Structure 1
Amino acid sequence: MEAILKDPAGAVIGLDFDGTLSPIVPDPAAAVIHPKAPAVLAELGRHVLAVAIVTGRPPATALELGPGLADVPGLVILGHYGFERWENGQISAPPPPPGVPRAEAELQLLLDELGLRGVTIEDKARAVAVHTRRSPDPEGALDRLREPLARLADKHGLVVEPGRMVLELRPPGMDKGQALSLFLAERAARSVLFAGDDLGDLAAFEAVRASELPGVTVCSGSAEVAQLAERADIVVDGPDGVVALLEELASAFSRS
């Protein structure tokens, strides 16, 4: 943290969205950013090299669920694990992978065959997610889905990304770690902080360490994912804790 405080102009602040800037909710479409987050990120954006949100969500969805994010100075959203990018009001991305809609077309039949109730499908355009949080037995449903979804992903040239009561089918070749590494190199960053809450953020933690830059990893703690807390430099209490930490940073920058 010392390097970030001494040289904020060289620092990249990387953040996951769900569970980090936004509390986890049963219906992903009902998620909303922490009310203090946009203002805090805007203040950080005035001091640091870049603020980057690295998420499995499409950038347009993150912006929709995060009113005020578009006004954060220099904000970059690396959505779909880095396949899609929002910057300066523009979204850039390669063509959507054909395997995703094909897999999605088979998902409802698969759920019906397994007799799983309360399991929902989220169309993320470049990925498709299967959520079990609203099932009568979320953990049991997740376990029953692992092998069938792995076979379905393999059939359509996709990979399965596990998360908090969710399994996501997405194209291979990019993850949050790769997205963050490429961004750090692009910006010639001199230090980095990354905050996340879920298994998909482990790759970003590893990217911070592999970068050989002065770096800090922050876990937005929950009872659902212990692995991240074990590898984090700092553990805070969910999105409230993340925002409080970012407020402390912004305050320190303003005083210097």
Structure 2
Amino acid sequence: MPTSPSLSTPSTKAGREGLDALLARPGKALIGLDFDGTLAPIVADPERARAHPRALAALAALAPKVAAVAVITGRPAEVAVRNGGFAGAPGLEHLVVLGHYGAERWDARSGKVTAPDPHPGVDAVRAELPGLLDGSGTWVEDKGRAVAVHTRRAADPQAAFEALREPLTDLATRHGLIVEPGRMVLELRPPGMDKGVALAGFAREIGAGSVLYGGDDLGDLPAYAAVDTLRADGTPGLLVCSGSDEVTELRERADLVVDGPEGVVRLLGALADRLG
């Protein structure tokens, strides 16, 4: 099936097959999306991150035409729901937010968050971080089930990031956690869950016939790997990179690179138009 003129053509054969499968059987398609940097522009203060002004409209136009839309984020689910404006938004009945890399789940239909008990190591790390970071010019984001150390506000963000990688890894290891690096952020979180596990599990749950995943950061690489595995098992997939000069690895692996959240919103809108 040829792609619509309003849709950019993926650069790879696998990506073109993934897009064609999505367009041919949208009722079996899963749309998976990161939040920060993908649906929402990156900002210095993560608490001020909000979805792109046209994201809700694009999602509402597309969601009823596919099997499901899953926002997969390292943030708590309720924070992503609030910052995205998802609660009660018309047209988003098929939306699910998988927060804390899938440890939490919010369903638009029920409006409720379900989650297991938090890992005890997070409290221990939270208590020790202030002494470790004293004078480093960093900022700590408490995510409840994880703790993120941001270096974007430091005098030299990249130098601060590199200087903290080893001590934060040591701290995380002592308390049974892992460190997830990102765009000027190091997140200390429990092991065993990542965006790939969350995406693959949800794809199995709904019996997805095709999967599109869009992300912008290193934490999205496991989701890319999950799509690769699904492809190998016969489920077509499309990898989208919400373009960033800070993380080139996603660009190199993506089937389709778009211009940040603005480009993601345009892509979602083009898919909705084509399926309409």
TM range (shorter): over 0.9
Residues 54-83 of structure 1, C-alpha deviations (whole Å, 9 max, x = no match) = 000111001111114542121000100000
Q: For 2:48 and 2:131, locate their aligned partners in 1 and report how far apart those are by CA, in whole Å.
A: 25
Matching residue's letter, 2:160: A
Equivalent pairs, count: 251
Alpha-carbon contact 2:87-2:111 (below 8 Å) kept: no
How is 1:74-85 mapped onto 2 (pairs within 5 angstroms)? 74-85=94-105
Q: Return the alpha-carbon distance in structure 2 between the equivalents of residues 146 and 235 of structure 1.
A: 29
Give the drift of 1:37: 0.6
Match of residue 132, structure 2, among 105, 110, 115? 110
Q: Distance in 1 between matches of 2:87 and 2:23?
A: 23
* Equivalent runs, 1:139-154 vs 2, <5 Å: 139-154=158-173
**1:210 aligned partner:** 229
The corresponding residue for 1:30 is 48
Question: CA shift at 1:90, angstroms?
Answer: 1.0
Q: Distance in 2 between matches of 1:68 and 1:49?
A: 17
The residue aligned with 2:119 is 97
State the shift of 1:223 in Å. Answer: 0.9
- Aligned equivalent of 1:44: 62
Whole-Å separation in 1 of the counterparts to 2:148 and 2:44: 13
Aligned residue in 2 for 1:14 = 32
Structure 1 match to 2:244: 222
Question: How much does 1:19 deviate?
Answer: 0.1
The normalised TM-score by structure 2 is 0.90
1:65 equivalent in alignment to 2:108: no
Q: In 1, are the aligned partners of 2:149 and 2:185 still within 8 Å (CA)?
A: yes
Q: Is the 8 A contact 1:77 1:85 kept in 2?
A: yes
Residue 98 of structure 2 aligns with an amino acid whose one-letter code is L
Structure 2 counterpart of 1:46, one-letter code: P
- 1:27 offset after TM fit, Å? 0.4
SS at match of 1:121: strand
Give distance in 1, aligned partners of 2:69 and 2:224.
Answer: 16
Between the aligned partners of 1:80 and 1:67, the Cα distance in structure 2 is: 18
Decide whether aligned partners of structure 1 residues 61 and 244 sit closer, same or farther in structure 2, where only a CA change above 3 A counts: same
For 1:166, the equivalent position in structure 2 comes to 185
- Letter in structure 1 aligned against 2:202: F
Partner-residue secondary structure (3-state), 1:46: helix
Cα deviation for residue 36 of structure 1 reads: 0.6
The 2-side partners of 1:70 and 1:208 are apart by: 30
* Deviation (angstroms), 1:44: 1.0
Amino acid at match of 1:251: D
Q: Tell me, what secondary structure is at the counterpart of 2:65?
A: coil
Q: Match for residue 6 of structure 2?
A: none
* TM-score calculated relative to the size of structure 1: 0.97
Contact 1:219–1:234, Cα closer than 8 Å, also in 2: yes
Q: Percent of pairs identical after alignment?
A: 59
Corresponding letter in the other structure for 2:114 = S
Partner of 1:196: 215
Contact 2:73 2:101 in 1 (8 A): yes
Give matches, 1:113-124, under 5 Å.
115-117=135-137, 119-124=138-143
- Whether 2:198 is the aligned partner of 1:179: answer yes
Aligned partner of residue 211 in structure 1, secondary structure: helix
69 and 206 in structure 1: CA distance in 2 versus 1, 3 angstrom threshold: farther
| Structure 1 equivalent of residue 15 of structure 2 | none
CA contact (8 A) 1:38 1:69 kept: no
Of stretches 34-43 and 160-169 in structure 1, the one that deviates more from structure 2 is: 34-43
